[in-house]
Amino acid sequence: MRKTISIARDFSETPGGRYRKDGPDSGEEFREDVLIPNFKDISSGDRLTIDLDGGYGYPVSFLEEAFGGLARHYGSKIVLERLAFIANEEPSIVEQIKEYIQDAT
């Protein structure tokens, strides 16, 4: 089963900062309300695709908290295995996210 989440369509076109307390549409909010509920249903061998096209931008704090935070919860290896990314508009963002996942401590 392959499932796709578009951040711009399914969450916000204007992602915010790191934590909920920082303001609306934070990385923590995305991780807890959108990412984890979808990620936990992905079984081994399946992938959850994150579509990063569209939207005004993806701040470093947002990305680190969302994806690095997911890796701190499930472990870097599992997250890298079960996530796939679409970033036709800005391909370099995928490497950046993978770095946050690998470096998550």
Partner 1 sequence: MKLKHAKSWYNRRARKIHEHELRRKRRRKAHAKTGSRSSQYSVSQRLNENIRKDQYSEIEAPIDFSIHRNAEKVLEFYESIEKQVQQGKPVFFRMENIHSFSADSIMYFLAFTRNLRKRGLSYSFRGDVPRDAKNRNLLEQTGFLSYVKSKRSDSITRSTEVVEIKEGSQTSGEVAKSFCDFVQAKLGYTLLKTRPLYEAIIELMSNTKHHAYADDNKEQIVKHWYIFARYEEDKERVRFVFLDTGFGIPATIQVRQGEQVRRMLAKLGLTSANDHFLIKSALDGEFRTRTRETHRGKGLPSVYKLSQKDYFQNFTVVSRKGFMAADMNRDMNKALNGSLFFWEMSKEERDNEKNH
Which is nearer to partner 1, 20 or 82 (by Cβ)?
20
Q: Are the CB atoms for 64 and 20 separated by under 8 Å?
A: no
Query: And the tokens for 25?
Result: 């549409």
CB of 103 to partner 1, least distance (A): 7
CB of 90 to partner 1, least distance (A): 7
Nearby residues of 88 by Cβ (< 8 Å), 6 or more positions away: 53
Nearby residues of 35 by Cβ (< 8 Å), 6 or more positions away: 5, 66, 67, 70
Which is nearer to partner 1, 17 or 50 (by Cβ)?
17
CB of 45 to partner 1, least distance (A): 29
Could you list the residues that contact partner 1 (CB under 8 A)? 12-18, 21-26, 56-62, 64, 68, 72, 89-90, 100, 103-105
